[in-house]
A and B are shown apart, each in its own frame.
Chain A
Amino acid sequence: MPGIPVTYTPLLTGVRTTSVAARRRRERAGNALVLTGAAVVLMALLVIPLFLGASILAWLPLPDGAWSRLGILFAGSAKAAICALVLAVPLGLAAAIFSAQFAAPGFRNWFKPGLEVLEAIPTVVLGLVAFATLAPWLKVNVVTLLALIVAMPALLLAAGFAFGGAFRRQAGWLPLWLVPTLFALVVAIVAVLSPHQTDAIVPRSPWNAVLVGLALGLAAIPMIFSVAEDALMQVPSTHLQAALALGATRWQAIRSIVLPAARPGLVAACALGASRCLGETMIVLMASGNTPIGDANPLAGLRSISAELALGLPEAAPPSGAYRMLMLAALVLFALTFALNLLAERARSHLRRARSAALP
């Protein structure tokens, strides 16, 4: 206000200036810390490919057959990842849709953390299960597995049509016994119908891509579920309400509005799952047989890039051709997983931007 002199007590002014200066100092220190951290992370990110690249390029040319071996390893990794994703993507996405859109809140409250906690299982344990339990079972039960894959969704659909109404009214507990019951039913039927000991389809090797896919898929499900579920939960419920109010059934509303709105998040979930499957080492090491054959048959063995690195590195001395081959394999693996994670991150930031733009 003009004309009125403003006076501060010196004490008060003094206190204020020091506190402001102190705060500024602290802020600057904090900024420096954050910047240093970011720089270190960025350098680490850059150092890895640079180091790998240098170890390969320094002693050109690569030994004969390095590229063809790399091709076989890449095919092995891809075969294992595809088998795993065939299992993990449908199950992970279905579980996410169920949890975000159909489960009663009480049920969801323990279903989601329950599934996410599976992420914490050490992969060596999953590998062990695949090695010790699943492999002997699969050796004589390929047909059972195929029957399960065909019959389970069919039976679930049939059960959905039969109990759909009741399920919605008592939302939550029904699938608890429905799924294991159906599972047991199918196993029992197949066990009765199929001749014992020898199965109609015999795997080429007891350690094969299907086995790897089962264990690796199990490992990838929690991540796919978690990312997809978050994306679905972030779709404003007002979209669903509006669609229902226009006469959509719940499933129509989900398919036409909720899933498209969450699509970037679902893509991110799949990309992260694929990245996880490509990079995973322990399960592949234990369950794949580690045979470097370029065979597309899912019932034949494989050797992945990650397993090659784990197995070959202790024996390869730095300047040797074998060592440079491994470095090249590592670089390929790094590039692949990095690209997949980048894709996932971009999809998710797209989702965030779309959402903030949607706010009126």
Chain B
Amino acid sequence: MATTMQPPDIAATPDLTAGGAIALELRALSLWYGPRQALDAVSFGVPARKITALIGPSASGKSSLLRCLNRLNDELPECRFEGEVRVGGANLYAKDVIVHEIRRRIGMVFQKPNPFPLSVYENVAYGLRLSGMKARRELDASVEAALKAARLWDEVSARLDDSALVLSLGQQQRLVIARALAVGPEILLMDEPASALDPAATLRFEELLHAPAQRYTVLLVTHTMQQAARGADYTAFLHQGRLVEFGDTDVLLTNPRERLTEDYITGRYA
């Protein structure tokens, strides 16, 4: 797979998703919260510049898996981790990886929209300022581009200085997507980003998803099979912390290999 050419470290890799077909590779990933195991030897590769859906019943470890991939689990004191994550061929958990820098390249959108209690503009500019962008003109342009990419620009262009908290839920969700896109990540981790949206907003969101997919590698947690079917090139099915099946979305959803997968996608799963 992507092991043909392994650069020495992530920082030296100019593009995490170039070169190999696999952008992120999980090898026997296990995770514990205190004594409680949340992931059990999960192994699969996330193909570069494609949308991969992660499906599974609730509490099957989808969010936990996602948090391993930008090392957000490092922040939980009780959390223990085994196995390996390779990104662009390099070990994500190597000692010399500068965590906050790698997080700029592996963006994350959370399950519940969580805008900062700042203005719309400052929300989107937050990551840009962190990466050292200061010139107002540059910031303005990047904020506008990100809001346009997230299909939010038309609705908020007149009130960029209003608090982000007065936006509707669907607008907040697109705002946090714009915030994640603004720093130009190469990989996007999305945790049920449409769960807070009504059907119309969901459709608009899926539309949005396809545009960045040409540039980004997307790993999308979703609990609706339709979203996986419509949006994702590949799908992984997680059940009780184990990876049951991974494959092409069409194949997995129409002709699953495993009985468990079939039960889940046909709704027979209890």
A residues near B (Cβ < 8 Å) are 104-105, 171, 236, 238-250, 252, 256-257, 260-261, 354, 357-358, 360
Structural contact, A242 and B176, CB atoms closer than 8 A: yes
Q: A241-B110, A360-B113 are in contact. Are A256 and B126 (CB under 8 A)?
A: yes
Structural contact, A358 and B100, CB atoms closer than 8 A: no
* Choice from B116, B165, B172 contacting A243 with Cβ under 8 Å: B116
Interfacial chain B residues near A261, Cβ < 8 Å:
117
Interfacial chain B residues near A243, Cβ < 8 Å:
116, 126
Structural contact, A246 and B103, CB atoms closer than 8 A: yes
Q: A238-B110, A238-B112, A360-B172 are in contact. Are A246 and B183 (CB under 8 A)?
A: yes
Structural contact, B117 and A245, CB atoms closer than 8 A: no
| A268 CB to nearest chain B CB (Å) | 17
Interfacial chain B residues near A248, Cβ < 8 Å:
100, 130
Structural contact, B101 and A241, CB atoms closer than 8 A: no
Structural contact, A358 and B165, CB atoms closer than 8 A: yes
Interfacial chain B residues near A104, Cβ < 8 Å:
77
Structural contact, A242 and B183, CB atoms closer than 8 A: no
Interfacial chain B residues near A238, Cβ < 8 Å:
110, 112, 114
Structural contact, A242 and B116, CB atoms closer than 8 A: yes
Structural contact, B172 and A245, CB atoms closer than 8 A: no
Q: A171-B77, A245-B70, A247-B100 are in contact. Are A252 and B130 (CB under 8 A)?
A: yes
Structural contact, A247 and B72, CB atoms closer than 8 A: no
- B31: CB under 8 A from chain A? no
User: In B177-202, which residues have CB < 8 Å from any A CB?
Assistant: 179-180, 183, 196
Roughly how many angstroms separate A113 CA and B219 CA in the complex, as a whole number? 43
- Chain B, interface residues (CB within 8 Å), range: 20 to 34
Structural contact, A358 and B117, CB atoms closer than 8 A: yes
Structural contact, A245 and B72, CB atoms closer than 8 A: yes
Closest 8 A-B residue pairs measured CB to CB? A247-B104, A238-B114, A246-B127, A245-B108, A247-B103, A104-B77, A249-B100, A242-B114
- B107: CB under 8 A from chain A? yes
Roughly how many angstroms separate A243 CA and B103 CA in the complex, as a whole number? 10
Q: Which residue of A lies closest to B169 (CB)?
A: A360
Interfacial chain B residues near A250, Cβ < 8 Å:
75
Structural contact, B183 and A244, CB atoms closer than 8 A: no
B residues near A (Cβ < 8 Å) are 70, 72, 75, 77-78, 100-101, 103-104, 107-108, 110, 112-114, 116-117, 126-127, 130-131, 165, 169, 172, 176, 179-180, 183, 196
* Choice from A244, A249, A252 contacting B72 with Cβ under 8 Å: A244
Interfacial chain A residues near B104, Cβ < 8 Å:
246-247
> Mind listing 29 A-B residue pairs with CB under 8 Å?
A104-B77, A171-B77, A239-B117, A240-B75, A241-B72, A241-B110, A241-B114, A242-B110, A242-B114, A242-B179, A244-B72, A244-B100, A245-B108, A245-B110, A246-B107, A246-B179, A246-B180, A246-B183, A247-B101, A247-B103, A248-B100, A248-B130, A249-B100, A257-B116, A354-B117, A358-B117, A360-B113, A360-B169, A360-B172
Q: Which residue of A lies closest to B104 (CB)?
A: A247
Q: Which residue of A lies closest to B117 (CB)?
A: A261
Roughly how many angstroms separate A260 CA and B118 CA in the complex, as a whole number? 10
Roughly how many angstroms separate A252 CA and B132 CA in the complex, as a whole number? 13
Interfacial chain A residues near B107, Cβ < 8 Å:
245-246
Interfacial chain B residues near A357, Cβ < 8 Å:
165
* Choice from A242, A244, A260, A358 contacting B75 with Cβ under 8 Å: A244
Structural contact, A247 and B196, CB atoms closer than 8 A: no
Interfacial chain B residues near A244, Cβ < 8 Å:
72, 75, 100, 103
Interfacial chain B residues near A257, Cβ < 8 Å:
116-117
Structural contact, A247 and B116, CB atoms closer than 8 A: no
Interfacial chain B residues near A256, Cβ < 8 Å:
126
Roughly how many angstroms separate A247 CA and B47 CA in the complex, as a whole number? 23
Most-contacted residue by chain A among B77, B108, B196 (CB, 10 A)? B77
Q: A242-B176, A357-B165 are in contact. Are A247 and B114 (CB under 8 A)?
A: no
Roughly how many angstroms separate A289 CA and B130 CA in the complex, as a whole number? 52
Structural contact, A246 and B75, CB atoms closer than 8 A: no
Interfacial chain A residues near B110, Cβ < 8 Å:
238, 241-242, 245
Interfacial chain A residues near B100, Cβ < 8 Å:
244, 247-249, 252
Q: Beyond A104-B77, A241-B75, list 9 extra A-B contacts (CB 8 Å).
A: A105-B78, A236-B114, A241-B110, A242-B179, A246-B104, A246-B126, A246-B127, A252-B100, A360-B196
Interfacial chain B residues near A252, Cβ < 8 Å:
100, 130
Interfacial chain A residues near B172, Cβ < 8 Å:
360
Roughly how many angstroms separate A250 CA and B76 CA in the complex, as a whole number? 12
Structural contact, A245 and B103, CB atoms closer than 8 A: yes
Roughly how many angstroms separate A261 CA and B81 CA in the complex, as a whole number? 32
| B181 CB to nearest chain A CB (Å) | 11
Most-contacted residue by chain A among B70, B107, B112, B126 (CB, 10 A)? B126
Interfacial chain A residues near B179, Cβ < 8 Å:
242, 246
| A24 CB to nearest chain B CB (Å) | 40
Q: Which residue of A lies closest to B108 (CB)?
A: A245
| B225 CB to nearest chain A CB (Å) | 26
